[in-house]
Structure 1
Amino acid sequence: MPVLARAVREVESRAQRGALNHDQRTRFQVIGLLVREERNRVKADTEITEQSRGEQLKRLDGVATILAKTATRDPSLFLLLGDEATPTDEARILRREMLAAAGLAPAPTETPTDEGEVAPVAERRIVPQSVISRQLSNPFMAPDFSNAAPRESGPGRLSTWELLGPLFTSFEKASDGAPSCMQLPEPTFLMTPSGRELMKHQAQLVEAAAAGHRTFLLADEPGLGKTAQALLAAHAADAYPLLVVAPNVVKTNWAREVEMWTPGRTATVIHGNGDTIDGFADIVVINYEVLDRHVGWLGELGFRGMVVDEAHFIKNKSSQRSQQVMQVAERIRKRAGRPLMMALTGTPLINTIEDFRTIWQFLGWIDEKKPRSELMTALEQTGKTPLDHGFYGAARQAVIDRGIVRRRKVDVAADIPARRIADIPVDLEGEVGRSIAEAERKLVERMLRRYDTGAAAKAEARSSAISDTIDADLVRRVATWEREDNQNSKDEENVFAMMRRIGQAKAGLAADYTAQLARNVGKVVFFAKHVDVMDAAEASFSQRGIRYTSIRGDQSKAAREKAIDGFMNDPEVKVIVCSVTAAGVGINLQVASDVVLAELSWTDAEQTQAIDRVHRIGQDKPVTAWRIIAAQTIDGRIAELIDSKAGLAARALDGSDGEIGSSVDVQLEALVALLADALETRTG
């Protein structure tokens, strides 16, 4: 208990200062798992008295209460404690450490491996009974090598060159105005098996699959029907059984889309251990969070196609989810030769061009170190090396021809009305406004002190006077230290806590503006990042007699669908209050044409995903996203940075001549700007 008590207080204290980082979220999950295990142990212990049992359970309830209060600040934490939440290797290691600190031995199934890692718990790797039945029904199911992938070619002219860096750079250097889209054939049909009519851009991709193309990075802008295209491509390629890996919030939507677009095919959705799935289904849908339990049999079932939805989820190649996706994909490739492999994402680039790396690797275009056979052959055929003029344009096209498909709404869906983002500046008045200004002042002063210390140290090392010129390199290093420093005292807030406080302060003002829109123009979608901002907005709507529904991270599937249905179909429901993380993907809210962004996202991609819940096929009105900006605060600076980051995808994928935003994240750039402004003011 002392170990749990210390750990939960640490997490609680950190959550009070701002959003939990990855390590603290892992600690939160491990505490929850240990509380659950300890409760079961105490209840089953026959050697303790009832009084002792009651005392121990009461103390455990205290820890659980602190966890619950912490999770109310960020509802996504509840997902870490659900039945489908799978502990990462980091969580298993931390659990062992906490057990050791408490003087307890880990379970025999969690002994360290030779590499010092903790082996996955045995019962996590399971095979559902219906899958066993399918395997037994055809025990001689052999790999299909009829369409085997080409063998890796021998050493060529480019075999000694490092090519991955130049390939990524080729998308940054592209300046010919050409979008990133492979040549697609003209469609020979526009009608689906279900009798629905396809748009031309959708039918073109399906035609390419029917003609034999087997790898696609489908990066159409959100709202252009990527799910339908993937399902119909699988139908055209006869890529069954088909595996779909998707975020938890959209996996049931895939089953509905199967019925809509390919009604002759059966779909099954894996929940938890997969006890209820149909092992004989044509399409198997699984979410990232439970993939590790099913990696074994998924690689052996005989899939002839694999779709990864919201593929930017795997951009971190060292993450467990990325490694599991890669493992399954490679085993499918070995068994099926040339399976249909599709990565779907409207936002493939979040921060840097290298976000492409893991997606290209999933598709089989590259491996860890070099291009694979087909791409290498295409590069050899250009007759150029990275030192030759024209290499980057030719290399970029060689990658695009492997299957990048990127279309913009303005080009292929002209009937979808335009969208715009309008900033609404608001003043934070009173004590709240003054406290936020004071917090920002303290943040800047803290960075100035660090800068001065660093500048003095550099001057001493060089035996010179401190320069009056601003040291840009030192500014960036100080900003990096500030961003990564989680040891700030309680009276000095970091940038994450400050943005949360600004969001809380804007909540009422954003709700007021939403209420005006609801009364004057009709239905409105309200987006926020934090649960307390959502709570404040909902309270405001209730006071005004405005009916609303809500989408949150801790909702059940039934509650989520009821909320969406109420907003879409009930004319009395004027507002839907949405969590950016819980509702940013997988839902269609075209019944509204106005979106209120009460809090700023840290990336343009997240902001775009939210707006595109409304701006998509089926929308018949111009869409306006009203972005609430706190004037005279860091809020305005972050809005500018988010807008500048939008240039990355525009240049790399859409052929725009605009500048590409920096590859570093918005948090760092915001801190750099704050410190640079303060230094210029001081020296000016």
Structure 2
Amino acid sequence: MSRPRLMNRRPELLGNAIFDGYDFGLQLQFVEGANRLLLERDGFYMRRSEHPLYRYWRLPKGKLLAELDLLFHSLIELVDGRYAESWKSFCQKLEAAQASPDRQAFTWGLVFRIAPLAHGGILLSGDYHPGMVAVARRMRGIFLGQSRSWRIDASAELVRSNLILELGLSEEQFEILDTVQELLSDGTVAPVESITRISLGGPAQEQVAKASEDETSADVYLAAVPSIERTEYTDAQIEKALLSYSLLDHQPAGIRHLLQRTSALLADDMGLGKTRQAVIAAAIRAGDRPILVVTLSSLLINWQREIQVVYPDAVVALQVFDALAKWMVINYERLGDYVLQADHFVVMVIDEAHRLKEPTAMWTRHGFDIAAKVPSRYLLTGTPVLNRETELHTLLRLSGHPVGQLPLKEFCEQFAGSPEFRKDLRDAIGDWMLRRRKDVLPGLKGKQRQTLSVALSEEERRQYDRIRLEDRPIFARLGALRQFLEQVKVRVIMELLAELDIEDKVILFCEFKETVSTLRELCEVAGYGCVTLMGSDSLAKRQKAIDKFQADPDPRVFIGTTSAAGTGNNLTAANYVMFLGLPWTPGLQDQAEDRAYRNGQLRLVVVKIPLVENTIDQKLWQMLLDKRQLAQDLIEPDPVTESKAALAETLVACATAWT
């Protein structure tokens, strides 16, 4: 006999409960007068329909549990029998939520901003979350009430890593300024004096007094790495070993540079085949023994493909330890899992090695722990210096170079702060770092940068000024202004796309994923085939977009965020690159441009950079030029080349007015 249906069954007062370790989310039926009870306990109602917990009440754990019985009975009195709920069932739902916490329950839409400070540490600001407060307190942060931000004596990468571990955030939820900042007396920040300032107006601020040397310490524990030594390989032996490989004219010298040292930096321009050179050098050096490759998450598949192009039968393990595999390819976040297996490897290849510039970052510490036990360590990066000379110190230390063994203070006194000191540093590391520019590729037709002047309309100027003068911390306003200017440039970019020839393909770089979505919609309406790439995309989805853009003539527009699409990918199908927003360092800009300008490109690459008049755009561009000069002092091989490059940069930076 079937079970009788219960008609007119009363719904439960508490439909669902969720807990993230700090706050509860309660899905309650509507009860007249309940709002007051919940607001008295610092409750917050989720009104945004796009929020995953739409129509939930969010209450702090302490406020809810302190007087839970009183709250429950007060709600039951208001319900007056319309909903079914017992004290036992109410408590069971809360206990079940506590037993299975969801740390991401209330992280939707959160954005945190991190600014490095000139005299050490960072400034953390952004949306409120108790987990962020807990992380800041654990890291002995100091809260600055006026700017609603935390000053923390740690690196940006370490703070970000701790927040990701605590709250399960994605990289898209962070805005990180690579420019060194000064903390002002009101808790706001500004770029240091040696770099062009970005001022948003308002009264002048007094600088905070520098911390004394007794109050701060730059000493960081990192495992001791063996000193660099020369290997047994002769030029003749290497030449013989390379006879069976098909290489470009400049690549044997790069392989020889790696093989003849137990550790070295290959700093070739992007697109010259650093990966291919490192694969061959590592394979020769390792013989039949295992190799560890460390790279970015987005480049794991690229490395697997490159290894198997050179060695089709190679066994490559991605993100797992496989004792039978010769090649193990992992991302930086997985380094900690391989510390105990470090003795297993004879060669360690560190791709995009500038990611290890911060000695306090957890993956840097794990990288040193592994490197200390691996006989040969090859570092690869086209941008060894992003902001300042000290970024080379950690890489030199990781290699076992004598200059890297100097205390950081002594290193700065000898090699930082002036073109003459930077030349001394370049001379000191000349044998360790090999860098070639793209002029070694005779097939490349060249690259031109063109800045385009954009004028705001009257209404756009009013919106810009409103954001600029809002009563918010400068960091928040700066991010909002950059996002607004990206949206302004969308109309300029669409006009530029209309002028392109049917054979042209273009890469559009944005700093904000909302701009990517806007451009995709407009391209679809205009009939331009397009693909997109953002940080939230899976590895498979990313590779599918890249392969389609490269092989299929239909998608003519590739749209991506600089952080996700600006490194590692081969996009030589494009002969135009356009920036709606600028990254914070010239190295990141160069890497993004060189997705198109690399080996395999058969056409002139034109880079178009719209700059909005009388805005932070122009100051950011000047800041990039300042940083570019610093990097050129360190990594360009001779002053004549530097002068020619600077002259060429000036000549191609033509300003064409857009209204």
TM-score (norm 2): 0.61
Of residues 487, 496, 505 in structure 2, which corresponds to 1:504?
A: 487
1:49 corresponds to 2:97: no
Aligned to 1:305: 347
User: SS of the residue aligned with 1:243?
Assistant: strand
Whole-Å separation in 2 of the counterparts to 1:225 and 1:63: 42
1:94 corresponds to 2:94: no
1:416 corresponds to 2:444: yes
Aligned to 1:650: 632
1:68 corresponds to 2:116: no
Of residues 325, 328, 333 in structure 2, which corresponds to 1:289?
A: 333
> Given the superposition, is the C-alpha separation of residues 185 and 644 from structure 1 closer, same or farther in structure 2, using an over 3 Å criterion?
farther
Aligned to 1:322: 364
1:207 shift after superposition: 3.2
Aligned to 1:426: 454
> Given the superposition, is the C-alpha separation of residues 50 and 615 from structure 1 closer, same or farther in structure 2, using an over 3 Å criterion?
same
User: SS of the residue aligned with 1:68?
Assistant: coil
Aligned to 2:307: 258
Give the alignment of 1:230-629 within 5 angstroms: 230-238=278-286, 240-270=289-319, 274=320, 277-297=321-341, 299-301=342-344, 303-332=345-374, 339-366=375-402, 369-370=405-406, 396-401=426-431, 403-410=432-439, 412-440=440-468, 442=469, 489=472, 494-517=477-500, 519-629=501-611
1:516 shift after superposition: 3.3
User: Do 2:20 and 2:102's aligned partners in 1 also have CA atoms closer than 8 Å?
Assistant: no
User: Do 2:21 and 2:101's aligned partners in 1 also have CA atoms closer than 8 Å?
Assistant: no
User: Do 1:243 and 1:306's aligned partners in 2 also have CA atoms closer than 8 Å?
Assistant: yes
User: Do 1:508 and 1:540's aligned partners in 2 also have CA atoms closer than 8 Å?
Assistant: no
> Given the superposition, is the C-alpha separation of residues 192 and 545 from structure 1 closer, same or farther in structure 2, using an over 3 Å criterion?
farther
Whole-Å separation in 1 of the counterparts to 2:317 and 2:447: 36
Aligned to 2:196: none
> Match for 1:300: what amino acid?
D
Aligned to 2:32: none
User: SS of the residue aligned with 1:230?
Assistant: helix
Whole-Å separation in 2 of the counterparts to 1:559 and 1:68: 22
User: SS of the residue aligned with 2:607?
Assistant: strand
Compare relative contact order (CA 8 Å, sep 6+) and give the higher one, 1 or 2. 1
1:320 shift after superposition: 0.9
> Given the superposition, is the C-alpha separation of residues 347 and 311 from structure 1 closer, same or farther in structure 2, using an over 3 Å criterion?
same
> Given the superposition, is the C-alpha separation of residues 501 and 392 from structure 1 closer, same or farther in structure 2, using an over 3 Å criterion?
closer
User: Do 2:387 and 2:631's aligned partners in 1 also have CA atoms closer than 8 Å?
Assistant: no
> Match for 2:93: what amino acid?
R
User: Do 1:524 and 1:596's aligned partners in 2 also have CA atoms closer than 8 Å?
Assistant: yes
Whole-Å separation in 2 of the counterparts to 1:70 and 1:425: 33
User: Do 2:257 and 2:434's aligned partners in 1 also have CA atoms closer than 8 Å?
Assistant: no
Whole-Å separation in 2 of the counterparts to 1:264 and 1:309: 22
Whole-Å separation in 2 of the counterparts to 1:395 and 1:637: 29
User: SS of the residue aligned with 1:534?
Assistant: helix
User: SS of the residue aligned with 1:217?
Assistant: strand
Aligned to 1:448: none
> Given the superposition, is the C-alpha separation of residues 203 and 63 from structure 1 closer, same or farther in structure 2, using an over 3 Å criterion?
closer
User: Do 1:439 and 1:493's aligned partners in 2 also have CA atoms closer than 8 Å?
Assistant: no
User: Do 2:448 and 2:606's aligned partners in 1 also have CA atoms closer than 8 Å?
Assistant: yes
Whole-Å separation in 2 of the counterparts to 1:315 and 1:491: 27
1:185 shift after superposition: 5.5
Whole-Å separation in 1 of the counterparts to 2:582 and 2:626: 14
> Given the superposition, is the C-alpha separation of residues 63 and 363 from structure 1 closer, same or farther in structure 2, using an over 3 Å criterion?
closer
Aligned to 1:638: 620
1:204 corresponds to 2:245: no
> Given the superposition, is the C-alpha separation of residues 538 and 73 from structure 1 closer, same or farther in structure 2, using an over 3 Å criterion?
farther
Whole-Å separation in 1 of the counterparts to 2:637 and 2:403: 26
User: Do 2:343 and 2:373's aligned partners in 1 also have CA atoms closer than 8 Å?
Assistant: yes
Whole-Å separation in 1 of the counterparts to 2:106 and 2:496: 35
Whole-Å separation in 1 of the counterparts to 2:498 and 2:113: 24
Aligned to 1:139: none
1:572 shift after superposition: 1.1
Whole-Å separation in 1 of the counterparts to 2:516 and 2:94: 37
1:248 shift after superposition: 0.8
User: SS of the residue aligned with 1:353?
Assistant: coil
> Given the superposition, is the C-alpha separation of residues 62 and 364 from structure 1 closer, same or farther in structure 2, using an over 3 Å criterion?
closer
Whole-Å separation in 2 of the counterparts to 1:520 and 1:72: 41
1:91 shift after superposition: 8.1
1:221 corresponds to 2:269: yes
Q: Deviations over 1:624-648 (max 9, x none)?
A: 1111211221111211221232112
Structure 1: 5+ residue stretches without partners: 17-30, 35-46, 75-89, 99-116, 125-163, 165-183, 333-338, 377-383, 444-487, 661-684
Aligned to 2:153: none
> Match for 1:414: what amino acid?
P
User: SS of the residue aligned with 2:360?
Assistant: coil
Structure 2: 5+ residue stretches without partners: 1-18, 26-41, 49-57, 62-86, 115-130, 140-157, 166-217, 219-233, 643-659
> Match for 1:285: what amino acid?
V
Q: CA RMSD in A?
A: 4.6
1:651 shift after superposition: 1.7
User: Do 2:293 and 2:350's aligned partners in 1 also have CA atoms closer than 8 Å?
Assistant: yes
Whole-Å separation in 2 of the counterparts to 1:611 and 1:209: 27
Whole-Å separation in 2 of the counterparts to 1:62 and 1:208: 50
1:256 shift after superposition: 1.0
User: Do 1:219 and 1:346's aligned partners in 2 also have CA atoms closer than 8 Å?
Assistant: yes
Whole-Å separation in 2 of the counterparts to 1:283 and 1:340: 15
Whole-Å separation in 2 of the counterparts to 1:492 and 1:283: 43
Whole-Å separation in 2 of the counterparts to 1:421 and 1:294: 42
Is 503-512 or 323-332 further displaced after alignment? 503-512
> Match for 1:544: what amino acid?
A
> Given the superposition, is the C-alpha separation of residues 513 and 269 from structure 1 closer, same or farther in structure 2, using an over 3 Å criterion?
same
> Match for 2:296: what amino acid?
P
User: Do 1:523 and 1:574's aligned partners in 2 also have CA atoms closer than 8 Å?
Assistant: yes
> Match for 1:213: what amino acid?
R
TM-score (norm 1): 0.59
User: SS of the residue aligned with 1:589?
Assistant: coil
Whole-Å separation in 2 of the counterparts to 1:199 and 1:187: 19
1:217 shift after superposition: 0.6
> Match for 1:269: what amino acid?
L
User: Do 1:258 and 1:266's aligned partners in 2 also have CA atoms closer than 8 Å?
Assistant: no
User: Do 1:437 and 1:633's aligned partners in 2 also have CA atoms closer than 8 Å?
Assistant: no
Whole-Å separation in 2 of the counterparts to 1:49 and 1:385: 68
User: SS of the residue aligned with 1:527?
Assistant: strand
User: Do 2:258 and 2:264's aligned partners in 1 also have CA atoms closer than 8 Å?
Assistant: no
Q: Deviations over 1:178-234 (max 9, x none)?
A: xxxxxx9699759968x6520121111223445x33221100011100000101111
Whole-Å separation in 1 of the counterparts to 2:533 and 2:475: 33
1:526 shift after superposition: 0.9
1:94 shift after superposition: 2.7
User: SS of the residue aligned with 1:69?
Assistant: coil
